[in-house]
């Protein structure tokens, strides 16, 4: 029985709790679609996975070796696409799960990309700027065969940013002998980045929340919002939602949570963070812990940090009407079922946070054409794609009598399946 299960579910080397999570979401959709068993086997594991040892000279002249990964889950629809994560928990299983989610996300949004993800197991906050630069450049050099504008296009994720993308672009260009900005997205505007890319993920989260509110007959004005995480995604989501009239009553970062029942002043809070790096020390709110924050009664809860935050342990105490998954994989499958039974409306990660990769697509297209768009045009095209996809997912959820996650997965898998069957099997 066990033997059969492992054979059926592919290579156990990828298996970690988060990979199991991605796989069980895929299997639920594959069952519902009665997916061709050959394709089911192919999608169960990544197309390829690269693991590298990255030796770096530290500032004290010692040499440290870091572990780096890049996983291409599927490339049926085009070059693979996905971020690079610098975090102490990065592993092959985690990167593979995130790569699989990228495959579904790109397909769902109608982007001509396959899914990938990369990462280095490190604590970027503990590295100096020079160490970080050497690590980024050596990681890029080790990956040189596996990335490229027509092969695989990296972007930022947790622990990486515009500067890291600029170093990656420069390293790749040095190897090739000329400037190739379209090797990465999420790079600075000065070297070919796109207007609106930094805010794009937050903007996409907001467009999804507004669509969900309109479906549930709620008006944004005065609605209470709790956001876990105040990095790029969390802080822009907070800023844009507060501009739409919502009341952001709590936010958090790695060190603490802040609670203000009358609504936080997000502009002041962002100014505080740009001065002090963290939320700690902001005086216009009371401190709460991250677990307390997740359980605060609110209209909208936005987990915008790490995966596996809403689990069997806290799902029955989550007290929101809409859960917008800005992070990748914040809800475990058991928690998902509990929230569903309790009538919470979930906007699944592959839809909620897809604004980032959508504007990455715009950035890649602008780079390939050497023709750059206005910010208004970018935001408008993003809104159009996100709203249209949200409503397609909602329509499928209603007609197939499934939840939003299953509906989104079904649409994504259907799309790749169609292209895969058209292309056939080589050789
Ligand atoms: N890391 C982001 C994500 O998880 C963005 C990926 C991209 O822009 O390629 O969707």
274-295 per-position pLDDT tens digit: 999 999 999 999 999 999 999 9
Kindly tell me if the per-residue pLDDT of 329 is higher than 50: yes
SS3 for 211? helix
Q: Return d(Cα 373, Cα 268) in angstroms, integer.
A: 31
Could you tell me the distance, in angstroms and rounded to a whole number, from the CA of residue 59 to the centre of ligand 1? 31
Do 200-347 and 12-180 have the same topology in CATH?
Answer: yes
| Ligand 1 touching residue 357 (CB < 6 A) | yes
| Ligand 1 touching residue 83 (CB < 6 A) | yes
Strands (E) located in 283-351: 286-288, 300-303, 322-324, 345-347
Could you tell me the distance, in angstroms and rounded to a whole number, from the CA of residue 306 to the centre of ligand 1? 14
Q: Return d(Cα 181, Cα 174) in angstroms, integer.
A: 12
| Ligand 1 touching residue 157 (CB < 6 A) | yes
Q: Return d(Cα 234, Cα 259) in angstroms, integer.
A: 15
Q: Return d(Cα 78, Cα 116) in angstroms, integer.
A: 11
| Ligand 1 touching residue 152 (CB < 6 A) | no
Q: Return d(Cα 270, Cα 265) in angstroms, integer.
A: 9
The fraction of the chain above a pLDDT of 90, given in percent, is: 97
What per-residue confidence (pLDDT) applies to 186?
A: 98
Ligand 1 site-directed mutation target among 77, 101, 102, 349, most atoms within 8 Å of CB: 102
Q: Which residue is closest in CA terms to ligand 1's atom 7?
A: 357
How large is the C-alpha radius of gyration of the chain?
21
What average pLDDT does range 233-246 have in this prediction? 98
Instruction: Report whether CATH 3.30.43.10 matches the domain 12-180.
Output: no
pLDDT band at 2 (very low <50, low <70, confident <90, very high): very low
Domain ranges of the chain: 12-180, 200-347
Tokens found for residue 318: 């989550």
Alpha carbon 169 to its chain centroid, in Å, reads 21
What average pLDDT does range 84-108 have in this prediction? 98
Closest C-alpha among 207, 203, 222 to residue 298: 222
Kindly tell me if the per-residue pLDDT of 3 is higher than 50: no
Pick the CATH number of 200-347 from 3.40.50.10540, 3.30.1330.120, 3.40.50.970, 3.40.50.720: 3.40.50.720
Per-residue burial over 181-190, b = 16 or more CB atoms within 10 Å of its CB, e = otherwise: bbbbbbbeee
| Ligand 1 touching residue 204 (CB < 6 A) | no
CB 79 within 8 A of CB 116: no
Average of per-residue pLDDT values in the chain: 96
SS3 for 50? strand
300: which strand partners? Answer: 225, 322
Q: Return d(Cα 52, Cα 70) in angstroms, integer.
A: 9
Q: Return d(Cα 120, Cα 282) in angstroms, integer.
A: 32
Q: Return d(Cα 357, Cα 143) in angstroms, integer.
A: 21
Could you tell me the distance, in angstroms and rounded to a whole number, from the CA of residue 233 to the centre of ligand 1? 11
What average pLDDT does range 144-170 have in this prediction? 98
pLDDT band at 8 (very low <50, low <70, confident <90, very high): low
Q: How far is CA 66 from CA 19, 90, 112, 423, in A?
A: 22, 11, 32, 38
Q: Return d(Cα 362, Cα 346) in angstroms, integer.
A: 27
């Amino acid at each position: 029985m066990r033997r059969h299960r492992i054979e059926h579910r592919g290579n156990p080397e990828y298996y970690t709790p988060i990979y199991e999570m991605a796989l069980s979401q895929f299997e639920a959709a594959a069952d519902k679609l009665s997916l061709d068993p050959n394709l089911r086997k192919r999608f169960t594991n990544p197309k390829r996975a690269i693991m590298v040892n990255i030796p770096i000279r530290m500032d004290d002249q010692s040499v440290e070796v870091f572990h780096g990964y890049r996983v291409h889950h599927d490339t049926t629809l085009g070059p693979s696409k996905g971020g690079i994560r610098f975090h102490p928990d990065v592993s092959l299983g985690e990167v593979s799960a995130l790569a699989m989610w990228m495959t579904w996300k790109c397909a769902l949004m109608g982007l001509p990309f396959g899914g990938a993800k990369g990462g280095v197991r490190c604590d970027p906050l503990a590295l100096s700027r020079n160490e970080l630069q050497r690590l980024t450049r050596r990681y890029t050099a080790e990956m040189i065969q596996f990335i490229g504008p027509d092969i695989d296009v990296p972007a930022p994720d947790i622990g990486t940013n515009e500067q890291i993308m600029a170093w990656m672009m420069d390293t790749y260009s040095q190897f090739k002998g000329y400037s190739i900005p379209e090797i990465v997205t999420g790079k600075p505007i000065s070297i070919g980045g796109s207007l609106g890319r930094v805010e794009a993920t937050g903007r996409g989260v907001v467009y999804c929340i507004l669509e969900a509110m309109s479906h549930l007959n709620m008006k944004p004005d005065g609605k209470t919002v709790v956001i876990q995480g105040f990095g790029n995604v969390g802080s822009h989501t907070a800023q844009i939602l507060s501009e739409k009239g919502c009341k952001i009553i709590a936010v958090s970062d790695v060190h603490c949570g802040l609670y203000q029942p009358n609504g936080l002043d997000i502009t002041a809070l962002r100014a505080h963070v740009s001065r002090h790096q963290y939320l700690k020390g902001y005086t216009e709110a009371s401190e709460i812990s991250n677990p307390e924050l997740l359980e605060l009664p609110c209209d909208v809860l936005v987990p915008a940090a790490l995966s596996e935050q809403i689990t069997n342990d806290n799902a029955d105490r989550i007290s929101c009407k809409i859960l917008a998954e800005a992070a990748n994989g914040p809800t475990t499958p058991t928690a998902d079922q509990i929230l569903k039974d309790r009538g919470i409306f979930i906007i699944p990660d592959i839809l909620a946070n897809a604004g980032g990769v959508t504007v990455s697509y715009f950035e890649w297209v602008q780079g390939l054409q050497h023709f750059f768009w206005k910010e208004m045009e970018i935001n408008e095209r993003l809104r159009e794609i996100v709203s249209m996809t949200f409503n397609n997912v909602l329509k499928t959820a209603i007609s197939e009598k499934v939840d939003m996650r299953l509906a989104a997965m079904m649409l994504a898998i259907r799309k790749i399946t169609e292209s895969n069957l058209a292309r056939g099997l080589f050789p």
